[in-house]
């Protein structure tokens, strides 16, 4: 294999890669959960803040809905979430397509567990950094589509 050479990958290769990624992400999230005693929020939040610093997104005094809309457009390759209602500093979103939910399904785990919690803390960290204020999201419901409530402080 030569670096930069095109790869000839089959659908089966992609399926095997997805299974491997699902296994690794699940193991990683559960390890953090065990080491941190179930409080993975700070780890995810710090990672999210670091990620946001690398994004080419610069918002001037953004509102929560504006920030979520910008992130929705940016993350469309792996996630499809839409802000469905806004009330003050609270926004409810519906997540129809979700790479993390796909990873959970691939590894036989129901959505809403350790991987989802770690991801939502990561997402909160991104929004924190972009808005320059703390936010907290919670899963309202999980399944084929998920509902998430995000509150800015």
Cα–Cα separations (whole angstroms), residue 9 to 15, 17, 19, 139:
10, 10, 15, 36
pLDDT digits (tens, 9 = 90+) for 109-135: 888 888 888 899 999 999 999 999 999
What does the pLDDT average to over 30-57?
Answer: 86
Predicted TM-score (pTM) of this structure: 0.84
Whether 25 maps to a domain, the answer reads yes
Pick 1 or 147 by higher pLDDT.
147
* The two structure tokens encoding residue 17: 């890669």
- Domain limits at 47? 14-152
* The two structure tokens encoding residue 132: 């320059």
Whether 90 maps to a domain, the answer reads yes
CATH code where residue 133 lies: 3.30.1380.20
Query: What pLDDT band is residue 38 in, cutting at 50, 70 and 90?
Result: low
Residue 22 reports pLDDT greater than 80: no
Residue 1 reports pLDDT greater than 70: no
Alpha-carbon distance of 15 to 1, in angstroms, equals: 21
Whether 27 maps to a domain, the answer reads yes
Whether 7 maps to a domain, the answer reads no
pLDDT digits (tens, 9 = 90+) for 44-100: 899 999 999 999 999 999 999 999 999 999 999 899 999 999 999 999 999 999 989
Whether 49 maps to a domain, the answer reads yes
Whether 99 maps to a domain, the answer reads yes
Pick 94 or 104 by higher pLDDT.
94
The pLDDT value recorded for residue 45 is 93
7 DSSP 8-state letter: P
Alpha-carbon distance of 131 to 66, in angstroms, equals: 10
Number of domains into which the chain is organized: 1
Contacts of residue 115, Cβ cutoff 8 Å, sequence gap at least 6? 25, 26, 29, 100, 103, 104, 109
Residue 70's CB is within 10 A of a number of other CB atoms, namely 16
* Least confident piece of the model among 5-9, 13-17, 95-99: 5-9
Alpha-carbon distance of 105 to 28, in angstroms, equals: 16
136: left (phi over 0), alpha (psi -120 to 50) or beta: beta
Contacts of residue 105, Cβ cutoff 8 Å, sequence gap at least 6? 111
């Amino acid at each position: 294999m030569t670096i930069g050479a095109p790869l000839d990958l089959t659908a089966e290769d992609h399926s095997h890669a997805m299974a491997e990624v699902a296994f690794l992400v699940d193991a990683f999230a559960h390890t953090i959960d065990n080491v941190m005693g179930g409080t993975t929020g700070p780890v995810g939040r710090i990672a999210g803040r670091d990620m946001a610093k690398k994004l080419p997104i610069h918002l001037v005094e953004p509102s929560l809905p504006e920030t979520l809309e910008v992130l929705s457009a940016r993350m469309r390759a792996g996630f499809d979430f839409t802000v469905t209602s806004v009330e003050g500093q609270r926004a409810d979103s519906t997540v129809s397509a979700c790479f993390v939910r796909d990873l959970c399904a691939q590894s036989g785990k129901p959505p809403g567990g350790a991987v989802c919690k770690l991801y939502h803390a990561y997402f909160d960290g991104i929004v924190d950094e972009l808005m320059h204020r703390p936010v907290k999201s919670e899963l309202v419901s999980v399944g084929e589509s998920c509902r998430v409530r995000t509150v800015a402080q």
